[in-house]
């Protein structure tokens, strides 16, 4: 594929806020969005705030000792409890922070020390950027920890009550690094065999997609890459990995960005590029001058949907692309295989995507009105057109706190 100019970007992530909209209902947790199922009586209208959640459809929860709290990821348990992960500033350092809510928005007293909150230090600084739930109720988060001078990939596993799981690497946490410079995991997925896949970024002067896989007991998986790690040589090595998912056949799908725009990468189960996908394991679309994908969703027919942003050099907009199982843009989606949506007058960036059982696609993130950022949600029909049954025009925005930035960075259904 031809190389086009442009920058790689994953946008900033900020404060600990939570809100829910009816879809049947959409939850946006501390910079994260989640679609949850609620009784029909709780549905006001698709795209409106859900008053059955915290009374007003939103909540803010302080965790640390100052205002540096950030939440970057959200997941919904089978029992409807909502788990949010990010960071909290404790004393003089940032720590991994996890908060669990009941379905009505109250803090879960059975989690952590009775207040629904858990924090975990790793060296001189840590944060969770992604979350995944195991079938047995254990909670896995991934991000970075700083055991020495520079951040490393970090993963932590918690029991369902919020305590660290000592059966995972003896301590409940594990670290790995790629280069002397900064490494950080941005996505996590749990395989059906219990192995945990992390994707993120490392740099040796050029940014690289980096992956690590751990066995269920927290040790590096020697059957993956080299010693449990790999940096796939795609896009001439200059690429970012922002999200990961595992197909039912064990193949690993990554969403990210490169100078060629929104990027999807597929690897074989052993970490090697899957040449059955676009010939070299990587496929990209660039609707404008630059772009990147921050989220990925898989369909049972093998199609891959990614969401992020596309920019014309002046303004970025929501961007969604769908690829067939062979890595070609899916012409049944919006014609060219991608859709661009203008939400606000300023920059718009999508960070989450999910596919409803009826095939509708929900994309969430941040929209700017020229002054401040707000949470933003867009819903598309399966064919890529905006769904006007959602909020009237397929788009909805919410600012929890006025006159400040409100940034949405994750989604769970």
- Which structural domains are found in the chain, ordered by start? 134-412 (2.130.10)
Q: How high is the pLDDT of residue 403?
A: 59
Angle at the Cα of 202 from the Cα atoms of 257 and 348, rounded to 5 degrees: 30
Q: How high is the pLDDT of residue 27?
A: 40
Instruction: Identify whether the C-beta of residue 288 lies closer than 8 Å to the C-beta of residue 6.
Output: no
> Which tokens sit at 213?
């896989």
Q: How high is the pLDDT of residue 401?
A: 63
> What is the C-alpha end-to-end distance of the chain, expressed in Å?
34
Q: How high is the pLDDT of residue 28?
A: 40
Residues 6 or more apart whose CB falls under 8 angstroms from that of 22 comprise: 38, 42, 43, 44, 45, 46, 47, 48, 49, 50
Q: What is the DSSP letter of 105?
A: S
Measured torsion, CA atoms of residues 327, 290, 15, 122, in degrees rounded to the nearest 10? 70
Instruction: Identify whether the C-beta of residue 16 lies closer than 8 Å to the C-beta of residue 69.
Output: yes
Rounded to whole angstroms, how far apart are CA atoms 107 and 117?
Answer: 8
pLDDT category of residue 54 using cuts at 50, 70 and 90: confident
Rounded to whole angstroms, how far apart are CA atoms 233 and 67?
Answer: 40
Which range in 6-10, 27-31, 32-36, 94-98 is most confidently predicted, on average pLDDT? 94-98
For 111, phi then psi, to 5°, come to: -115, 135
Rounded to whole angstroms, how far apart are CA atoms 311 and 163?
Answer: 43
pLDDT category of residue 205 using cuts at 50, 70 and 90: confident
Across 381-404, average pLDDT:
87
Rounded to whole angstroms, how far apart are CA atoms 270 and 274?
Answer: 10
DSSP line for 266-315: EE-TTSSB-TTTTTTSEEEE-SSSEEEEEEEEE-TTS-EEEEEEEE-SS-
HSE of 139, CA atoms in CB hemisphere, 13 A: 30
Is cis: bond before 321, omega within 30 of 0? Answer: no
Q: How high is the pLDDT of residue 405?
A: 65
CA-to-CA dists, residue 34 to 45, 78, 183, angstroms:
16, 13, 27
Rounded to whole angstroms, how far apart are CA atoms 67 and 95?
Answer: 13
Measured torsion, CA atoms of residues 168, 170, 172, 174, in degrees rounded to the nearest 10? -80
% the chain with pLDDT above 90: 72
% the chain with pLDDT above 70: 87
> Which tokens sit at 60?
């803010």
Q: Tens digit of pLDDT for each residue in 184-203?
A: 999 999 999 999 999 999 98
Q: How high is the pLDDT of residue 55?
A: 85
Instruction: Identify whether the C-beta of residue 27 lies closer than 8 Å to the C-beta of residue 358.
Output: no
Rounded to whole angstroms, how far apart are CA atoms 377 and 138?
Answer: 29
Q: How high is the pLDDT of residue 45?
A: 66
Mean pLDDT estimate for the chain: 88
Tell how strand 316-323 and strand 117-120 pair up. unpaired
Instruction: Identify whether the C-beta of residue 52 lies closer than 8 Å to the C-beta of residue 94.
Output: no
């Amino acid at each position: 594929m031809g190389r086009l100019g442009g920058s790689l970007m994953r946008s900033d992530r900020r404060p600990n806020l939570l809100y829910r909209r009816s879809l049947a209902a959409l939850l946006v947790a501390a910079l994260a969005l989640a679609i949850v199922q609620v009784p029909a009586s709780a549905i006001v209208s698709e795209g409106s705030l859900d008053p059955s959640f915290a009374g007003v459809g939103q909540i803010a929860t302080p965790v640390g000792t100052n205002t540096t709290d950030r939440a970057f990821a959200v997941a919904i348990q089978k029992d409807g409890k909502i788990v949010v992960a990010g960071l909290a500033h404790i004393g003089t350092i940032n720590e991994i922070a996890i908060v669990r809510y009941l379905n009505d928005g109250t803090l879960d007293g059975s989690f952590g020390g009775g207040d629904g909150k858990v924090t975990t230090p790793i060296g001189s600084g840590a944060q969770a950027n992604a979350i995944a739930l195991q079938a047995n109720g254990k909670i896995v988060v991934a991000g970075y920890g700083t055991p020495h001078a520079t951040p490393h990939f970090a993963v932590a596993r918690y029991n369902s009550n919020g305590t660290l799981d000592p059966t995972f690497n003896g301590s409940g946490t594990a670290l790995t690094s790629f280069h002397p410079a900064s490494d950080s995991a941005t996505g996590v997925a749990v395989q059906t065999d219990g192995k945990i896949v992390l994707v993120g970024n490392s740099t040796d002067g050029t940014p690289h997609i980096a992956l690590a896989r751990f066995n269920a007991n927290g040790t590096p998986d020697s059957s993956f890459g080299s010693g449990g790690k790999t940096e796939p040589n795609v896009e001439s090595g200059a690429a970012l990995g922002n999200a990961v998912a595992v197909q039912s056949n064990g193949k690993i799908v990554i969403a990210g960005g490169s100078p060629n725009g929104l990027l999807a990468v597929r690897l074989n189960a052993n970490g090697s590029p899957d040449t059955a996908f676009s010939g070299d394991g990587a496929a990209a679309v660039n609707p404008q001058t630059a772009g990147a994908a921050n989220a990925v969703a898989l369909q049972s027919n093998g199609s891959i949907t990614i969401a992020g942003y596309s920019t014309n050099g002046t303004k970025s907009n929501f961007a969604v692309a769908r690829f067939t199982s062979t890595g070609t843009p899916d012409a049944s989606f919006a014609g060219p295989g991608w859709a661009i949506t203008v939400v606000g007058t300023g920059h718009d960036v999508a960070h989450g995507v999910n596919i409803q059982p009826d095939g509708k696609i929900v994309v969430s993130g941040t929209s700017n009105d020229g002054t401040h950022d707000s949470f933003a949600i867009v819903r598309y029909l399966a064919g890529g057109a905006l769904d006007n049954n959602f909020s009237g025009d397929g788009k909805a925005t919410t600012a929890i706190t006025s006159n400040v930035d409100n940034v949405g960075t994750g989604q769970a259904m």
